[in-house]
Structure 1
Amino acid sequence: MKQICSFLTILLCISCGQKVKKEDLKHLNGYWEISEVEFPSGDKKQYEMSATVDYFEVSDMSGYRKKVQPLANSKYITSDDAEKFRLEPRQDAYIIMYQNEMSEWEEEIESLTDTRLILKNNEQIRYIYKRYEPLTLE
């Protein structure tokens, strides 16, 4: 009986997992640094430091994402390249829908707080980001 109760408690916790709400989407704005990639096989790749960070800007369920290179003076090197997207609610989740002249793809926002972002693509690869903290030299 104890095992059944434990199993049901775990199942309930998993099924009530943190879902992204519309009010959470404001946290997407800003700079994000990749920290880990999890593959469907269970393999993981850790990133101690990255030469680029992702910048997201969202307004009214659409926005853009671009790669930027941070400098030591809290400024960034960037190009004019940006991936435009729209956000779409789908089955208790939000999907980032990208489309350009070459292709279209999507990523599910699996988790989003002010300090952590997890995106999952169609191949079930999870990208785990942390809020980027600018470099400062004193």
Structure 2
Amino acid sequence: MKKCVGLLLFSFLITCCTRVNREDFHYLNGYWQIEKVVLANGETKDYSGNTSYDFFEYKAGTGYRQKVMPQLDGTFETNNIRETYTAVMRDQAALLEYKTDYAKWNEEILELDSLHLVVKNAANLEYHYKRAEPINLIDESGQKTK
């Protein structure tokens, strides 16, 4: 009985400690690279060679996501398509409610901190992101960096 109570308490603490809160939304800001996608059937698709990032901007409950491609000089190319969202808490779940001219959809934020982001969409696909940084292989004088 003690083991069962201990296991339940441990599970409860883990669940409570890993929940995303409204105060965590600021971590969305910046560049994120998809590491893997976990499909609805549990299969994992690796994206280690992914050459594009998702750029998130978040401010006061709203923001946008945009695809960008890092360049060798530390800048980014973009497709100029922004998916706007509202970040909300609903039934203890952190949600991104997206809206474009063509569609509306939600993604649940399962994990969010300064280095990791995991979102789940309506098709039960889990997107696992890692924090990304600009690539700068060329210095200001146009020379390759060491």
Q: Give, in whole Å, the separation in 2 of the partners of 1:37 and 1:130.
A: 12
Q: Give, in whole Å, the separation in 1 of the partners of 2:19 and 2:8.
A: 20
Runs of 4 or more, structure 1, over 4 Å off, are none
Q: Which residue of 1 aligns with 2:71?
A: 71
Deviations 1:100-121 (A, max 9, x none): 2221111011111011000010
Q: Gapped runs of 5+ residues in structure 2?
A: 138-144
Q: Gapped runs of 5+ residues in structure 1?
A: none
Is the deviation greater in 77-86 or in 10-19?
10-19
In percent, how many aligned pairs have the same letter?
Answer: 34
Over 3 Å counting, the alpha-carbon distance change for 1:122 and 1:17 in structure 2 is farther
The reply on whether 1:130 has 2:125 as its aligned counterpart is no
Look up the SS of the partner of 2:80 in the other structure: coil
- Please, what TM-score do these two structures have when normalized by structure 1? 0.90
Deviation, 1:10, is 4.9
How many pairs were matched up? 138
- Output the aligned Cα RMSD: 1.7
Q: Give, in whole Å, the separation in 2 of the partners of 1:12 and 1:2.
A: 15
- Please, what TM-score do these two structures have when normalized by structure 2? 0.85
Amino acid at match of 1:53: Y
Q: Which residue of 1 aligns with 2:27?
A: 27
Q: Give, in whole Å, the separation in 1 of the partners of 2:20 and 2:38.
A: 20
Deviation, 1:9, is 4.5
